[in-house]
Structure 1
Amino acid sequence: MTLTFNEVDEQQRWYSVDDGVMGGESQSQFSVVDGEGCFHGEVSLENGGGFASVRRKPNGFEPTLANALGLALTVRGDGRTYQLRLKSTSLGDASAYRVKFTPSQNAWETLHFPWDTFEAVRRGTVLTDAPPLHPSDLTQVGFLIADRTAGSFCLQLTRMDALR
């Protein structure tokens, strides 16, 4: 499985879920330009907010994830910490598996995330009794920023690959 950002309709597959669902004012979007994806926007701490996220269904690569050892991202950051988040049928609607990462600002890098590096969370709280992540149960993949810092952000991506 490889997800690149060269398809014309890739941008339409991503949608935002920001803190406006609870009264916050953060805003984000996912853009695709010249083979590069970008999760960007503005985090606001007003009205109890402080997070922004984008997600998409794993359509096009979910069957091959069942045999993968994890995921790899080719990214460039802005000095802020992000989360790669995976929704699964194993967890409730408000829960996800996450791994945090702070990509380099100055160079593209490929980060490797074996399945056992993901932790189950519900609204930021780690779920100690959650089942282990089963890649065959994934229903969504996404990115979230919730670093308690107001301001603009931009996470650039060129690839997402299954680890073999």
Structure 2
Amino acid sequence: MNTMVLYDFTKTATLDGWYTVNDDVMGGRSTCSFELNQQGNALFTGQVSLENNGGFSSVHYRFPSVEITGYQFLALRVKGDGKRYQVRIKDRAGDNYSYIAYFTTTGEWQDIKVPLKEMYPSFRGRKLDLPNFAEGEIEEFALLIGNKKEEAFSIEIDTIQFLEE
């Protein structure tokens, strides 16, 4: 199986290109942080608040365009907290919408495989009347939590890659 690594977190990795976005862009009160832990994995943690119509926290990674034609899966190695997360990709970083899919963590290390063709376009929580993701290029990856409830969250990320199969 061929793989293409988008990001492999290690003790010497930098977080260049990574940034967080919370609902405070719309007046909400959610908070989060994104950093490397002692094991060299990324740690995305925070508190989702519903105050002031809030309800989400996210971390984004922008990069020069990457060709993923021929790959069928977005694969993540994560250790979460039992909560549901949303994974997002954008074919053009400037687009308002993302292609999204959900996964639920177990509290143990997991290898999550998301079929790219099942990632559907969404904007502000609404599915758009556009085709699902097709082969091509991407310029942004994001991880979001927004389960319509107040909750603390924590997810550790080891690798993000694309798989052929």
Task: Tell me if 1:87 matches 2:85.
Answer: no
Q: Conserved in 1, the CA contact under 8 Å of 2:9 and 2:42?
A: yes
Alignment map for 1:45-124 (pairs within 5 Å): 45-59=50-64, 62-63=66-67, 65-89=68-92, 93-105=95-107, 107-124=108-125
After the TM superposition, which segments of 4 or more aligned residues of structure 1 sit over 3 Å from their partners? none
Q: CA RMSD in A?
A: 1.9
The residue aligned with 2:45 is: 40
In the TM superposition, residue 12 of structure 1 has moved relative to its aligned partner by 3.2
The residue aligned with 1:27 is: 31
Question: Normalised by the size of structure 2, how large is the TM-score?
Answer: 0.87
**Distance in 2 (alpha carbons) for counterparts of 1:101 and 1:8:** 28
Post-superposition Cα deviations, 1:29-73, rounded to whole Å, max 9, x if no partner, equal: 2111232111111111100000011101144x823x223112111
The residue aligned with 1:10 is: 14
In the TM superposition, residue 130 of structure 1 has moved relative to its aligned partner by 1.1
Unaligned runs of 5+ in 2: none
**Percent same amino acid among aligned pairs?**
33
Q: From the two aligned structures, give the one with the greater helix fraction.
A: 1
In the TM superposition, residue 9 of structure 1 has moved relative to its aligned partner by 4.7
Unaligned runs of 5+ in 1: none
Post-superposition Cα deviations, 1:113-132, rounded to whole Å, max 9, x if no partner, equal: 111221111100111x2133
Post-superposition Cα deviations, 1:86-118, rounded to whole Å, max 9, x if no partner, equal: 1223x973210111011111x211011111221
The residue aligned with 1:139 is: 139
Q: From the two aligned structures, give the one with the greater strand fraction.
A: 2
**Distance in 1 (alpha carbons) for counterparts of 2:10 and 2:134:** 28
Q: Conserved in 2, the CA contact under 8 Å of 1:4 and 1:35?
A: no
Give, as a single letter, the amino acid of the residue that structure 1 aligns with 2:74.
L
Question: Normalised by the size of structure 1, how large is the TM-score?
Answer: 0.88
Aligned residue pair count: 159
